[in-house]
Amino acid sequence: MNTSPPTYAICDLFTSVQGEGGMVGRPFVFLRFWGCPLSCPWCDEPRHRDPAFRRMIALDPLLDAVERQTPGLKQLLLTGGEPLAVRHLDRFVSRLKERGWWVAMETSGIGGAVPDALDWITLSPKTPLPHFPVERASEIKFILGAEPDPAQETLIQWWRERHPALWLQPRWDGPSFPTLAAQRCLEKVLASNGRLRLSLQIHKWMGIP
């Protein structure tokens, strides 16, 4: 039986503020895992697919690296890549909680089981997820392009019927602000009778990670 400690493929570890959704402006240590089962064309973090940025690190050294990143800040945001595709994620989160950390996660909902110990989950679904524990999602976020997408409209409606906190965010995959996509988001939010909210990625405005 293999008793060696689990290892994790990570892409980056840094400190910044959350620029999206309900946690906007809140400082976090960000841990970006490497690898994702999806291939979204608008993904703004292509490094998670590049083997040159893949670093393997064992559980305890990874915990220590997180602790050293910004002493005194005990808020961690797990992103990627896709955190739910990471083996032994539940063990990592449990160990963080033992050390007094508040742990959030951004996920597409595709992958393994959702760790029980997570404090906040931002779900950015690309499909209906009938087996995802919807009550565990703290908020739902959709990325909208400049042109209407009937399949996505159906998806948004599917989730609106199941969750009260939905954010629309313009797809920002170029050098300048996506004005048309932002206008689409704004129009939908204003017509939603308060059911939808607008997210604008303030970290990109500021030029920070």
Biggest alpha carbon–alpha carbon distance for the chain: 58
Q: How much is the pLDDT for 40?
A: 77
Q: Which helix (H) or strand (E) holds 189?
A: helix 179-190
Taking the model in full, what pTM does it have? 0.92
Q: For tokens 């997570």, what's the residue?
A: 118
CB 105 within 8 A of CB 83: yes
Domain spans, the chain: 7-206
How many Å separate Cα 59 from the centre of its chain?
21
Q: Residues with Cβ < 8 Å from 148, sequence gap 6 or more?
A: 184
Give the single-character DSSP code of 48. Answer: G
Q: For residues 171 and 185, what is the distance between their CA atoms, to the nearest angstrom?
A: 10
Q: How much is the pLDDT for 1?
A: 54
Q: Which of 104, 151, 111 is nearest to 127 (CA)?
A: 151
Residue range 7-206 in CATH 3.40.50.2000 = no
Instruction: Give me the tens of pLDDT residue by residue for the chain, a chain 209 residues long.
Output: 567 889 999 999 999 999 999 999 999 999 999 998 887 776 767 777 788 899 999 999 999 999 999 999 999 999 998 999 999 999 999 999 999 999 999 999 999 999 999 999 999 988 778 788 889 999 999 999 999 999 999 999 989 988 999 999 999 888 889 999 999 999 999 999 999 999 999 988 888 88
Q: Is 18 exposed, middle or buried (0-12, 13-18, 19+ CB in 10 A)?
A: buried
- For the record, the structure tokens of 119 come out as 């404090």
Q: How much is the pLDDT for 4?
A: 83
